[in-house]
Amino acid sequence: MSIMSPKEAIEASPPNVWLTSFYGFNPEFWGMLGFSNDGHRKRFIRETQPGALVVIYGHKSKAPEPQRGMVIGIQQVSHSVNHAKAYISPVEWQRKEADTERASKWNLAVKAIRAWRVAPEFYIPIEDFAPDTYSTARAQAIGSQGVRLSPSEAQRILDLTLIEISVFGEVAVESGVPALGKDILMPSKPGPVSQSGYFCKEAEGPKSLYLLRLVGDENAFLGRDAFGKWIVKVGFSKSPISRCESLNRSLPEGAFKWEVLQSNETNGLPQFPSSRAAVRAETAMKDYLARNQQSLGGEFFLTDRKALHEAWDTVIKATSYDRN
C-alpha cells in the first residue's frame, strides 16, 4: 500500500486533509481514527488516499479545558481498518469500556501511522484555523464523520508549531521537538510507513527560558534532607510545556513529575528572538543559581521559592530582547 507523504497530502487537489474533533489527543495510547457508523468509515476510505492527514481540534465540551475549541494535533492515517481494540492500548481500552459515555463509540477504526501534537503555547481556535469549513452548525457532522479542509486551510498546517509523537502500534518517536509544520512535514519521508524513530533538531527561532520543578518527596529523591527546598531544572525551548511533558514521559508512572514553574509565557513575555539569546539567559540563570543556591549538576539545582523568583527577575531584567 503506497502512503502519501504529508507534503503530498497538503498539496493534493483536493487536499487529502480532513478535520474532526476528539475528546483529547493521545496517539501514544489511541492509535486510530474511530467511527461509530460504518457508512461514515466507508465514505472516509472512499474519499481519501492512504496517508491522509486529519487535523484534530478539542471537542468544545468534552475535551480538557485548555484544549476546547483549539487545534491540538494531526494524525496521518492509513487505509487499514479493524475494530478499535486492535489500535488502542489495553489500559486505554479498559478505560474506554468502563466509561458509559464512550463504551459504544468509535469502534470502527482506521489505523493511524504518524501523529503530531500542537505545542500548547501555540494553540489556535478552530474558527481561526478553518473559517471556511468549521461552523457550529457543522460541528456534529465534523466530529462524527470528518470533513475535508479547503486548500487554504490545509496550507495553514505549515504554520502550526508541531511536535512529532509516538503512535500506539508504531515504532516510538524518541525525541520529538517543536518545529513549524513547514519544516517538519514538507520533507517527504521514504517508505510506506515509519520503520524507525523519527525526530528533528529543534529549529532555530524564538525560544523561551523555563524553570521546571520536580514535584514529589525531595528528601526521598535526594536520599537526604532537602530542608524544604525544591529540585528545579533550567532550560530553554520553543515550547516549555511540551518539553516538560516529554521529560515526564521518560519517567515511570509514580510519585514524581515535572511541572512548569516559570517561562516567558507564564510571565506574559515574548520569546527570546533566537537560540543564541535564549542560551545567554539560560547561562545567566544557571550562574545565578550556582552562586546563590545549591547545584545538583548541570542544569539541576536545589533552591527555594523566594530564591527562584529573585533569580527569574534578576536574569530577565539583565537580558536584552533586542539582541540576536
pLDDT tens column, 280-312: 898 889 889 988 899 898 889 999 989 999 999
- Report residue 320: phi and psi, to 5°: -90, 135
Q: Distance between CA atoms of 58 and 74, rounded to whole angstroms?
A: 12
pLDDT, residue 322, reads: 47
In angstroms, the first-to-last Cα distance of the chain is 47
Q: What is the pTM of this model?
A: 0.73
Q: What are 158-173's pLDDT values in tens digits?
A: 999 999 998 998 877 7
Q: Give the least confident one: 13-22, 80-89, 125-134.
A: 80-89
272 contacts 321 by C-beta, under 8 angstroms: yes
Q: By the 8 A CB rule, do 25 and 162 touch?
A: no
Confidence band for 193, pLDDT divided at 50, 70 and 90? very low
Determine the residue type at 238.
Answer: K
Which of 27-41, 129-143, 195-209, 221-235 has the least mean pLDDT? 195-209
DSSP 33: E
Higher pLDDT, 70 or 172: 70
Angle, in degrees to the nearest 10, between helices 275-292 and 305-318: 140
> In one letter, which amino acid is 7?
K
Separation in Å, CA 264 to CA 62, 176, 198, 236, 315: 29, 21, 29, 10, 12
Phi/psi for 176 (5° steps) reads -65, 140
The CA distance from 300 to 148, in Å, is 47
CA distance 69 to 63: 8
Nearest CA among 156, 166, 76, 165 for reference residue 124: 156
Q: Is 277 helix (H, G, I), strand (E, B) or coil?
A: helix
Q: Is there a contact between 189 and 164 (Cβ–Cβ < 8 Å)?
A: no
Identify the residue with better confidence: 133 or 320.
Answer: 133
Whether the CB-CB separation of 193 and 51 falls below 8 Å is answered with no
Ordered domains of the chain (ranges, CATH): 6-184 (3.10.590), 208-318 (no CATH)
- If one counts every other C-beta atom within 10 angstroms of the C-beta of residue 305, the result is 12
Bond prior to 27 in cis (omega within 30° of 0): no
Q: For residue 323, is pLDDT > 50?
A: no
